[in-house]
Amino acid sequence: MNQPMNKKPVLLITGAEGLIGSRLVNAFSEDYEVVAFDLEPLPAEQDQHQADWIPCDLTDDAQVARALLTLKQRHGDRIASVIHLAAYYDFSGEPSPLYQDLTVEGTRRLLRGLQEFKVEQFVFSSSLLVQASSEDGQPIRETSPVNAEWDYPKSKLAAEEVIRKEARDIPAVILRLAGVYDEDCHSIPIAQQIARLYEKQLESYFFPGDITCGQSFLHLDDLVACFQTTVERRINLPLHSLFIIGEEDLMSYEELQDKLGLYLHGDQWPAIRIPKVAAKAGAWIKDQMSDAEDAPFIKPWMIDLADQNYPVSVQRAREVLEWEPRHQLRNTLPEMTERLKSDPERWYQINGLPVPQELEQQDSTGVRK
């Protein structure tokens, strides 16, 4: 069964309902026949071009087979590119079988089913966190060592190995992505740090790691552009490709803290380094004293990772994909914090954070009581 000649090339996106997936659906819909695999369809306001949603649970063999059969019946057996976003992540630190069942085995199920198609490309969204921290401050490259230290990056690294074994003749691209953000924030660690400073929490002054370290981030628009150029250049890429994708301009924790304090409160906000043993004890006590609704973000297991340093080089992406980031986190922070100050309740809701009680008690003028 071949694709009809009058149709646009088919592009399959798994995990299409998420923040990145919904943006990619709309970015590709003009030039491609986009098929969306996810448990639920995209909300109408996010799906501007009406992608063909096919329900699919990647943890279930029968559902994956059924979804791929439906795709073949509707669109033929030729797929220009598969963008595989579906994965499990959770910052609570609690173990979950979904890391294995969805991220790892879901990738295996999908690739085995795709062997019945003519697939020009398979793109996997991995994570920069699979890399080892740069202890000497040198930029992380594709040849740098890996050292996934908690369940989320471990599952991504395991899925990468599945791709190398199961893709066979399907050209595969692995993108090790830095943490994504946009003007509304949409980044869990950045949003948590902003909220601590905005609310002037005591914890906002203390950091249990090297404050000169930092992590590369990636604007959502630049991420979309990266996927677009990766798909456009699919015919010219080698059978197996790996790219580090992030901003080379790195803000240290100290610099990020200072800038956020300046934008939120008009003054720099000092970051005081404290011993890890003290930070762990404080995090454990706070975690034990809280209930599920107000559970603290910082968990004891995160303290050991506070010294991680992730500067990156995107030289290979620049040369092969002709891609490089057009945004910088430092230039986006003013707009990000301004959106918080202009409409705090909206900002907290967008970022999945509980609205502080003092905000709920604001009067009609927006002035805190």
**Position 76 pLDDT exceeds 50:** yes
Indicate whether 123 pLDDT > 50: yes
Query: Among 249-258, 267-276, 298-307, which is the least confidently predicted range?
Result: 298-307
Per the model's pLDDT, the better-predicted residue between 42 and 106 turns out to be 106
Which residue has better confidence, 90 or 344? 344
Average pLDDT of the residues in 270-280: 57
Residues 6 or more apart whose Cβ sits within 8 Å of residue 199: 356, 358
Task: Give the range among 22-26, 150-154, 179-183, 299-303 with minimum mean pLDDT.
Answer: 299-303
What is the pLDDT, as a whole number, of residue 269?
84
Q: Give the whole-number percent of the chain exceeding pLDDT 70.
A: 85
Residue 271 has a pLDDT of: 73
Calpha distance 309→175 (Å, rounded): 19
Cβ within 8 Å of residue 341, ≥6 positions away: 264
Report the chain's mean pLDDT, rounded to a whole number: 88
β-strand 122-127 against 81-84: which pairing, if any?
parallel
Architecture per CATH, 10-177+219-245:
3-Layer(aba) Sandwich (3.40)
Long-range (24+ apart) CB contacts under 8 A made by 340-349 are: 340/185, 340/194, 340/198, 340/264, 341/264, 344/198, 347/184, 347/185, 348/195
> What local confidence, expressed as pLDDT, does residue 361 receive?
59
Higher pLDDT, 359 or 133: 133
Least confidently predicted of 47-51, 117-121, 167-171, 349-353: 47-51
**pLDDT at 334 > cutoff 80:** yes
Cβ proximity of 90 and 295 under 8 Å? no
pLDDT at 294: 57
**Distance (Å, rounded) from C-alpha 102 to C-alpha 244?**
23
Residue 70: pLDDT band (50, 70, 90) is: very high
Query: Which amino acid, one-letter code, is at 67?
Result: A
Mean pLDDT of all residues in 234-241: 96
pLDDT at residue number 284 = 44
- Work out the average pLDDT over 287-314: 67
The structure tokens listed for 279 are 């930070």
pLDDT at site 349 = 95
What is the mean predicted confidence (pLDDT) over 154-169? 97
Indicate if the pLDDT at residue 246 is higher than 60. Answer: yes
Tell me, letter by letter, the H, E, C secondary structure of 141-190.
Answer: CCCCCECCCCHHHHHHHHHHHHHHHHCCCCCEEEEEECEEEECCECCHHH
Q: Can you give the pLDDT at residue 163?
A: 98
**Higher pLDDT pick, 91 / 83:** 83
Confidence of residue 362 (pLDDT cuts 50, 70, 90): low
Q: Are 247 and 342 a contacting pair, CB within 8 Å? A: no
